[in-house]
Amino acid sequence: MRAGALPVPDEARPNQYLFPRDREYGFTHPGVLVTRMRPSRRLNPPGVTRLLCLACLLAGCGPRAVTRVASPTVPQPILSTVTPIPTATTTEVPSATPFPSATVMEPLPATAVVPPTEVAVPTALPAGLTIVPDVIGMPYRDAREVMLDRGFSLIYRDILDLERPLGSVLAQEPAAGYPWKTGGIVTLLRAFAPPAMWTGDKCYPLKIFSRSGRLLFYVTLEQDRPYKISTDFTYGRTGIYDYQMSELDSFSNDEADSLIFEPETNGEYVLALGPFEVSQGDLDSHPGGIPAGCLFVTLPEE
């Protein structure tokens, strides 16, 4: 043996195995085999081995300095213990603005905008039509003049109304603003309030103050009570009407003298007698009215 040479035991020979202290220092190389000589415990103490390993790692000769031996075994995939980051982390954080920005919304294509269709409005009425004026609330005489000036004909109906001014127009047909044929008929409903008639056995005296017409009165009746309406008036008929002057019952004055009426609702009803016709001489001879008999509205059980 030469001077200074390390004694090698006879049984020492190259061998392939893993670094015995790699796992001790936390360095593992799965599937990596290294070639080295069996160390001598006397000349290579553990402290020296640690220093050599550390110096090799610092010099960058760790895994690249070893000789890799191909393994016939297919390497297994390394399962990561780190939880994958969900794709939801790419979602934008909503803005603190209470209303979304207008830049977020995409504008509609130009082809999707449909301009409104313009409708031609006639500026003049067709020939033969006239707009019906508004005469509601006007006195009947004034309303009549307005309708005649516009070229309309008219008729009127009396409506029992104890609150509106006597003779004022309550309604009209056709309505105001409606295009109506020139010369057409317009119906006006006017308010009227005839004298009040009482109930009981007392005679209500009848008098005539004009050459022709009808005598009108209103009476308040109670529901489901039978009333006897009687008179000795000799002209035309005697009838009872609702507030719209729709006839409910009547009798001829030259054939009968009474009727029994049972109202369906409480309210005011109109009594109409006539028509009548007298001469001007009779009116002149009776300046206080021509006496024409009595009218009674009684309850039979009384």
Domains of the chain: 15-65 (no CATH), 129-192 (3.30.10.20), 200-298 (2.60.120.260)
Q: What are the start-end ranges of the H helices in 12-85? A: 46-58
pLDDT at position 11:
47
- pLDDT per residue as tens, the chain (302 positions): 444 444 544 444 444 444 444 444 444 444 444 444 444 444 455 565 666 666 666 665 555 544 454 455 555 555 545 455 555 444 554 555 554 544 555 555 555 555 566 555 556 788 889 999 999 999 999 999 999 999 999 999 999 999 999 999 999 999 999 999 989 999 999 999 999 999 999 999 999 999 999 999 999 999 999 999 999 999 999 999 999 999 999 999 999 999 999 999 999 999 999 999 999 999 999 999 999 999 999 997 75
pLDDT at position 121:
55
pLDDT at position 12:
46
pLDDT at position 92:
54
Please tell me the distance from the alpha carbon of residue 289 to that of residue 210, in angstroms, as a whole number.
8
pLDDT at position 220:
96
pLDDT at position 60:
59
Q: What DSSP designation does 266 have?
A: S
pLDDT at position 14:
46
Q: How far is CA 145 from CA 149, 154, 178, 184, in A?
A: 6, 10, 18, 15
The one-letter amino acid at 34: V
pLDDT at position 119:
55
Please tell me the distance from the alpha carbon of residue 299 to that of residue 302, in angstroms, as a whole number.
6
Q: What DSSP designation does 37 have?
A: P
pLDDT at position 21:
46
The one-letter amino acid at 39: P
Instruction: Give the side-chain half-sphere CA count within 13 A for 267.
Output: 13
Please tell me the distance from the alpha carbon of residue 58 to that of residue 198, in angstroms, as a whole number.
131
